[in-house]
Amino acid sequence: MTTIYTAEYFDGQTSAPQPATAQVLPNDGILIRWAGGQVLWPLDAISRLAGPKTARMRLICEEAPAARLAINDPADAARIVADAPRLARAGATRRGKTQALKWIAGGVVGLALLGLGAFEGLPRLAAHTPMSWVAPIGDNMRTHIEYAFDATPCASRRTEAALHRLTRRLLADVRPTASFDPSAVDVRIAESYIPNALAAPGGRLVILSGLLDLAGDTADAGGDMLAGVLAHEIAHARLRHPTRALGRALGLDLLLRASGGGVSADGGALLATFAYGRAAEREADALAQEMLTAAGIGDAGLKAFFAKIEATFGKSEAGFLSTHPATAERTAALPGVKGPERAFTKAEWRALLADCSPED
């Protein structure tokens, strides 16, 4: 008889983690039981996630790449490692990462297709909803997205300050309208090995720090690459793409009800609302280019970022490409002009890399 531990199980479909128990069966795996059922994760398919700097143990299984098992008590985590020594080392296997990326890409493509069938008038109406109305939904979605990506907000003051400064710079010439308030744009970095960035409704943006790793080894051009991505996400927010997509995915009725309370979209539907299609991506690139030029940064970083994404992931729809479909002419459309000013000071960029990279 082995010990039964208290755990939290996130099935990847419903947004909230479920109270669960976990039991290590030495020759089989980890048996997870929760109110809705039970599942056995084979030991050799389980990896321990690298993640935030807390003692919480989080496990994933190659057979259910969207699911997560969290053991919150460090003493219990230590006992589990004693029973299953291969879980001592943090860090998802390469195979596990690829599986997770595939799941994310698949969910997005499948649900985006469902979304296409919805009434076209809703997204248009949703696009005129004041930003402040959808901000609570955006906050909620951003939190759920971070959970789905196993990402934790990077709590570094100097990083926040650097991002804030750049965001204000990019929005300096943008005037408020009935549906867009530049001062309400809120950006944060969340620690994750996945390279992606997402704009939730209400100007709630999140950059997953896998992007920092991707840009980090490109010396001083890395900061300008990140600025390019940030400008691209801000452009999505200005164009109200997240709110339109949410309206398309959920319907305006749910949208309005959700603004009074919580929204309980499942993980897949949530991700689907972040895939906008090729025309929207072109539109966002053009607007990003305009903001980067006005800020004196230029679009060379954005162009370099797309080249890097393509060189790293090829044609697969992983990470950034899962939510920002590539356009063949994308890189070609950007002249790649370097502006007179850098996006970050050297100290700011060093701080970003030092404070917000996911643990190995």
Binding site for Zn ion (CB under 5 A): 281, 284, 324
Residue 59 host element (H or E): strand 57-61
Q: How far is the CB of 175 from Zn ion (least distance, A)?
A: 23
For Zn ion, the closer of residues 199 and 351 by Cβ is 199
For Zn ion, the closer of residues 181 and 285 by Cβ is 285
Could you say which DSSP state residue 113 is in?
H
Q: How far is the CB of 62 from Zn ion (least distance, A)?
A: 29
Q: How far is the CB of 281 from Zn ion (least distance, A)?
A: 5
For Zn ion, the closer of residues 61 and 246 by Cβ is 246
Q: What value, to the nearest 5°, has the Cα angle with vertex 144 and ends 138 and 149?
A: 125
For Zn ion, the closer of residues 96 and 107 by Cβ is 107
Q: How far is the CB of 182 from Zn ion (least distance, A)?
A: 19
Q: What CA–CA distance (Å, rounded) separates 267 from 252?
A: 19
Q: How far is the CB of 98 from Zn ion (least distance, A)?
A: 22
Structure token digits, residue 344:
């970050």
Q: How far is the CB of 241 from Zn ion (least distance, A)?
A: 8
For Zn ion, the closer of residues 144 and 324 by Cβ is 324
Q: How far is the CB of 161 from Zn ion (least distance, A)?
A: 26
Q: How far is the CB of 220 from Zn ion (least distance, A)?
A: 25
Judge contact between 10 and 34, C-beta under 8 A.
Answer: no
For Zn ion, the closer of residues 142 and 324 by Cβ is 324
Closest residue to Zn ion in the complex (CB): 324
For Zn ion, the closer of residues 71 and 108 by Cβ is 108
DSSP code string of 223-278: HHHHHHHHHHHHHHHHTTHHHHHHHHHH-HHHHHHHHHS-----HHHHHHTT---H
- Number of DSSP helices (H) and strands (E) in the chain, helices first: 15, 11
For Zn ion, the closer of residues 30 and 141 by Cβ is 141
Q: What are phi and psi of 187, to 5 degrees?
A: -115, 140
Residue 123's nearest CA partner among 19, 246, 233 is 246
Residue 306's nearest CA partner among 283, 333, 279, 280 is 333
Residue 297's nearest CA partner among 339, 337, 336 is 339
Q: What CA–CA distance (Å, rounded) separates 341 from 346?
A: 12
Give the HSE-up count for residue 20: Cα atoms under 13 Å, Cβ half-sphere.
26
